[in-house]
Amino acid sequence: MKTTQSKLLAAFCLASFLVLPAMADQKIAILDLKKIFDEFYKTKIADAVIKEEAAILDKDRKALIDQYQKLVDDHKKALEDANNQAISFDEREKRKKVAEGKLIEINDIEQSIKQFDRTAKGNLGEQQRIAREKILKEIQTIVNNKAKAGGYSVVIDSAAETINGTAVVLYTNGQDDLTPAVLKELNANAPTDLPKNDKKEDKKEEKK
């Protein structure tokens, strides 16, 4: 076992000695992709559009829930009327059928709400995915141009994390950071009436 470990360690060291000189000859830049994405004006516009769409869907869903609640209340009352011994048997049977009809309507609207949730979630998710891919593609184009113009061989995302949630870049002295230059070019034509970023406010509401 120890022999195997020693061989693996030796192989790793040899690979490191071979790679390090090659890396030393390369010009490397860093950037904070998360910051660039969040502060890009098109991201803020896309977020505002999706948020507005979500608000409309929430309103439509609330209308369905209100309709559902009314049917539940009507069904409950119809059942109470059907069990009222003060009225005739025929009238009780009539109201019993009304209660059965309400129950069918309740089941139908329950299915409508489930279908609405699936469709709304899918549409919003797809809309968000398309917007994100379009924005990232535009960012990538600017980064590529900046890297080529600066003679960089590699650009590393300083905000990247491993699958375990730990930082990929453990240290950087901040030199050759393309973040400010990329953001400046991306936001060169940003409109003055940008939507406000309500993410912090949303987090406060979630805590409440």
- In angstroms, the CA 24 to CA 16 distance is 12
Say if 9 falls within a structural domain. no
Say if 117 falls within a structural domain. yes
Give the CATH number, domain containing residue 90: 3.30.910.20
User: Which has the higher per-residue pLDDT, 195 or 4?
Assistant: 195
Q: Is residue 201 scored above 80 in pLDDT?
A: no
Give the model's confidence band at 197: pLDDT under 50 very low, under 70 low, under 90 confident, else very high: low
Q: Count structural domains, the chain.
A: 1
- Looking at the whole model, is its pTM more than 0.75? no
Report residue 92 as tokens.
């009780």
Say if 74 falls within a structural domain. yes
pLDDT digits over 91-103, tens only?
888 888 888 999 9
Quote the pLDDT of residue 18.
44
Domain of residue 42, residue span: 27-192
Question: Taken in order 8, 11, 13, 16, is the CA torsion positive or negative?
Answer: negative
Say if 200 falls within a structural domain. no
Say if 173 falls within a structural domain. yes
Say if 1 falls within a structural domain. no
Quote the pLDDT of residue 24.
56
In three-state form (DSSP H/G/I as H, E/B as E, the rest C), the secondary structure along 76-104 is HHHHHHHCCCCCCHHHHHHHHHHHHHHHH
